[in-house]
Amino acid sequence: MIDMVAENSHRVVVVGSAGRDLALGATTLPEAGASASVSERMERLGGKGANIASGVRQLSPESHVTLIAALGADRAGEAVLEDAHELGIDTASVARRGATSLFLDLVTGAGERRIFEHVPPEADVREEDLRRAAPVLEAARVVVLQLRQPAAVLLRAAQLAPNARIVLDGAVEGGADGAYGAPLLAHAHVVRANADEAEALTGRTIASTDDAQRAAEELLRRGPSVVALSVSGAGDLVAWEGGSQFFPFGDAPVVDRTGAGDAFVAGLVTGLIRDESARDLGRRASEAASTAVQQFGGFTRFTHE
């Protein structure tokens, strides 16, 4: 019985996108009509949901991570499913239909990147996908809801996971005051948003640490215990009831910022699994994001832990 509880405490579910990540690096962006030679190429499992799941699996080898996502019924889907298995992600709740999403991360020159996303409608998580995964959600202790998925489906996932601490990543459709904002924030234990997402959530412009502090306080009043907001070009503010800490971005050269947000969330989840304080969650998340920006492509290899 004690073993059972111990095992359950490591049960994580991530609801979010999965697909194929194609990262291409060239020295410059060619002019229109011209061509460039690609010096670096990486192709593997990607998408925000899958990136978070693979980050947690690496940062917490003791975790059991179930990904709820939809991959295509195609070759690309097969290939990235193999990557997920290699990382030890539980893919029993991954639906297969349509074409696999493609995320192109085009890096031209030092850290200059552009993302091209091809996400077919079938790639969104559906309520029927949750129904199949209901026992897994019921047993979960941490559930990450990546907010690019349909809000109605995410809210249903939160309702199906009464034993979990819910992590929201992104901006809720319609903002904090919309039809889904209030109930999702009420379910949330942690809210994570970058500057744009925090603006979409709160309607406040986040240009400084002070702006982030005010937005975080506003979000804390709506339910969550921890709010982590990033300030573009500066760092991440992590706030909790009665306190906050700012984690400035590191000095290490940025190779590719893609995947940094996903790594940040994976760090938060790892701290939650280990019942750490909000300050420690923030430190762990900030370190994970720093590891990510020093690597090419959306996937991050975490060597420590």
The site for its own copies (CB under 8 A) is made up of 22, 24, 26, 29-38, 41, 75, 79, 102, 104, 106, 112-119, 257
* Alpha-carbon distances, residue 257 vs 45, 152, 298, 299 (angstroms): 17, 30, 8, 11
Smallest distance from its own copies to CB 217, Å = 28
Query: How many whole angstroms separate alpha carbon 261 and alpha carbon 249?
Result: 12
Smallest distance from its own copies to CB 49, Å = 17
Smallest distance from its own copies to CB 134, Å = 32
Query: How many whole angstroms separate alpha carbon 117 and alpha carbon 142?
Result: 28
Pair 138, 161: CB distance under 8 Å: yes
Instruction: Kindly tell me which of 30 and 248 has the beta carbon lying closer to its own copies.
Output: 30
Q: Which helix (H) or strand (E) holds 61?
A: none
Instruction: Kindly tell me which of 28 and 163 has the beta carbon lying closer to its own copies.
Output: 28
Backbone dihedral angles phi then psi of residue 101, each to the nearest 5 degrees: -60, 150
Instruction: Kindly tell me which of 73 and 79 has the beta carbon lying closer to its own copies.
Output: 79
Query: How many whole angstroms separate alpha carbon 143 and alpha carbon 124?
Result: 17
Instruction: Kindly tell me which of 91 and 101 has the beta carbon lying closer to its own copies.
Output: 101
Query: How many whole angstroms separate alpha carbon 285 and alpha carbon 297?
Result: 18
Q: Quick one: which of 215, 161, 213 has its CA closest to 188?
A: 161
Smallest distance from its own copies to CB 157, Å = 25
3-state secondary structure 142-210: EEEEECCCCHHHHHHHHHCCCCCEEEEECCCCCCCCCCCHHHHHHHEEEEEECHHHHHHHHCCCCCCHH
Smallest distance from its own copies to CB 41, Å = 5
Smallest distance from its own copies to CB 52, Å = 18
> Residues in the chain, how many?
305
Instruction: Kindly tell me which of 13 and 102 has the beta carbon lying closer to its own copies.
Output: 102
Smallest distance from its own copies to CB 120, Å = 9
Instruction: Kindly tell me which of 75 and 132 has the beta carbon lying closer to its own copies.
Output: 75
